[in-house]
Structure 1
Amino acid sequence: MELVWGNLKSTELANLCPDILDDADTAALHRIGSSDQLCFNFLDHTGPLL
């Protein structure tokens, strides 16, 4: 989760000051959710699940 949050803060949320939180999360989560490779990279970084 920290990797996703860090990725959002460095791109969509950088210097963003929305009036409501919904304005910030819609585009950001769509970008991450639409990229299979990005999702798998986040999962790969977590290491093996035991």
Structure 2
Amino acid sequence: MKNHNKNVVAKLMEVTARKSAEMAANSRCVYLFHQPKQPSGIKTMKKYKPD
């Protein structure tokens, strides 16, 4: 039973991390000059491709 609970928690954490990465990939920082560089792997999560 404990192993099953660990799997559920791990899956929930994965989904949360993936969704927050998608949100970060599709948004910009309010402060123009303080937006940190995004990792190159996050670009694959964007919903749209810039021209």
**TM-score (structure 1 length as normaliser):** 0.35
Structure with bigger helix share is 1
Q: Which of the pair has more CA radius of gyration?
A: 2
Task: With a CA cutoff of 8 Å and minimum separation of 6, indicate the structure with the bigger relative contact order.
Answer: 2
